[in-house]
Amino acid sequence: MTELNQPELNLPTPNQLETNQPEISELHSEVLNILKALADANRLRIVGFLAQGPLTVEQLSANLVLSMSTTSHHLSRLAQAGLVESRSSGHYSLYTLLPKAIEKLTRQLLQHEKLPDLAPPVAADAPDRKILLSFLDNEGRITNFPTQRKKYLIVLRYVLESLELGTSYTERELNDLLRVFSDDTARLRRSLVDFGFMAREGGGGLYWRIPEA
């Protein structure tokens, strides 16, 4: 028997299981930025006013019954989202609506084939991750064992990921690895064998992971 080189375990914590999400798409970011800019009653009113023609801050402020500084703040937020632009007109800044940004947003949201781009791919193991959160502490250790078979198997598969294929473990070596997850190593060891995730030699000899598991 060769000496075991015990692998370093980088266990996912519940926080990592919950927050480890792919970055949002470019389309998602663009749509979100525009929707946030429009998610204000006064900014929607500004869009409505500018849809009727260019206006100055002073004119918008008077129509909105808001201070100049507040109106300027709203215009700045709309400009950041690419919805309005300003140009100098004498001593004033004249604001104009850029309808193409809204038209583009509308087209993107109405095109069914574009909608999947608003989110990362669906995680096939998302339900499993949610279940794991109920049975692990912040360090990834098992706090209690599920009573339902389906949930119990999810926990066992989580433990199984720390064991290498093609490696044989003595009972002591296996216990050392399983103790990272729970002090009840006998239960984990027995369950991994009983549920077909691992095999062992008769009489409690070497243990190894079953490739198909």
| Cα 17 to chain centroid, rounded | 9
Give the amino acid at 135. Answer: F
pLDDT tens digits, residue range 69-114? Answer: 999 999 999 998 889 999 887 788 899 998 887 777 777 665 656 5
Residues written for the chain: 213
What does the alpha-carbon distance between residue 200 and residue 206 come to, in Å, rounded to a whole number?
Answer: 5
Domain at 26-118: CATH architecture: Orthogonal Bundle (1.10)
Is residue 112 within 8 A of residue 97, CB to CB? The reply is no
End-to-end CA distance of the chain: 24
Domain locations along the chain = 26-118, 123-209
Element (H, E) at 26: helix 26-38
pLDDT tens digits, residue range 26-55? Answer: 666 777 788 888 889 999 999 999 999 999
pTM over 0.75: no
